[in-house]
Amino acid sequence: MNIFESIFIALDAVRVQKLRSALTLLSVGIGVFAIIASTSIMGTLQQAVNGQLADLGENSLLIQRTPTIQFGTNWSKMRRRKNITYDQAKQFRERMTTTKLITISNTSPGYTIKAGQESTNPTVSLIGIDDLYFTINVTSISDGRPIVESEVLLSQNVAIIGQDIVNTVFAGVSSVGRTITIRNQEFTVVGVLEAKGGVIGESQDNRVLIPITVFNKYYTSPWDASVDISVKAESKFQLESTQDEAIGIMRSLRGVKPWDENNFELDRNDALTGQFSGFSTALLAVAWISGLGALFAAGIGIMNMMLVSVRERTREIGVRKALGARKAWIVRQFLIESITLCQLGGLTGMVGGVTSSWALTAVMRSIAMPNLVFVMPWGTVIFSITICTVIGLVFGLYPAWRAANLDPIEALRYE
């Protein structure tokens, strides 16, 4: 009996025993689905997050009251930290000697932007910035100009808006030079941000930038009064010394005692990437453990299915042995059938995993992440094919050995 004939027998067994086969193959499919889908989705998100974190720019530091990524942090402890005030930030900028490329900003969500009869949903992020914001952050303006130093010092009502705002309230017309209203305050639009898409469900184009002095005057509340400080080193060789100086000055300004830990966070884009990688690795580990557990359970189901097949085909095995079939031929036949069953279930899981992750990527791209690119997990697909083969061999070996060692006389008598 050749390989193809053994494969056809395995497929015929699936056809005859539909329910039993479906339940067994479903376990294999679920395991492979969990492994492939989780790997693809996390790989896609990792790619997107790395791209967005690159917006911090090279040789840059970000100083905040709380961590950018909250995974694994003591949130109650973070909440007790005092705000980084605007005055502290200005003193910090004055004291720094290794670099003067320092920008101060603050963000508050949940605003509605109006222009004439049009208005946005109350989901716009309002960001207060200074004139160095565009020098340090990797952010570009597609139309108009950035906010200048005099507009910050004189607290002038000017604004730079994102593409989502343009599409909602200025559809079909130029927005530069026109007026928008934010909580009864009118602002002149001086620039439009280049479209950037979104990351982790949050649009990067649904925002408005205004001078931080105006932000502090009209829009600061006690719960969002803490500012962020972005620092850019003069070169990558000065990054460590700039970071050390920044930590020392911030500890002094915030009255941190020598034996106490920092009551602020200082992040670099490589550190943030590492934090997200740790988070994604933990999720992947859970998915892989669950998937491998399902595959192990499926292997037991495959063994049970093959043992039933041996019992049902005992007389057939006896006839074959009586006609001169060797043990190795019978072992090979049942192993091929076992591997075929595993690969059939694995193929179902692979198709489901790739299709679902591609569909989820498409949904996220259409909602808020237009730059999201689907990542095909080729390595995981190859691993899935391999592990299904291994499971078929390991869990099919005992039924194959049992079939090969049947006594031909007793097998022929079996009813």
pTM over 0.85: no
Residues of the chain with pLDDT below 70 are: 1-7, 9-21, 46-58, 68-78, 172, 197-202, 221-224, 269-280, 317, 325, 364-373, 406-415
Residues 286 and 408 in one domain: yes
Domain count of the chain? 2
Q: Are 297 and 395 in contact (CB under 8 A)?
A: no
pLDDT (tens digit, 9 = 90+) per residue, 237-287?
A: 888 898 899 999 989 988 888 888 888 888 776 665 656 666 667 777 777
Residues 184 and 296 in one domain: no
Residue 82 lies in a domain: no
Instruction: Collapse the DSSP code of 333 into the 3-class scheme (helix H, G, I; strand E, B; otherwise coil) and give the result.
Output: helix
Specify the amino acid at residue 45.
L
Instruction: Collapse the DSSP code of 276 into the 3-class scheme (helix H, G, I; strand E, B; otherwise coil) and give the result.
Output: helix
Residue 357 lies in a domain: yes
The Cβ of residue 20 has, within 10 Å, a number of other Cβ atoms equal to 15
Average pLDDT across the chain, whole number? 79
Instruction: Collapse the DSSP code of 202 into the 3-class scheme (helix H, G, I; strand E, B; otherwise coil) and give the result.
Output: strand
Tokens of 121: 């949903």
For 109, 152, 332, 402, the CA distances from 335, given in Å and listed in that order, are 61, 76, 5, 12
pLDDT (tens digit, 9 = 90+) per residue, 187-204?
A: 999 999 988 765 555 677
Residue 386 lies in a domain: yes
| Domain encompassing residue 290 | 3-52+274-413
In the listed set 232, 251, 283, which residue is the last one of a domain according to the structure?
Answer: 232
Residues 350 and 404 in one domain: yes
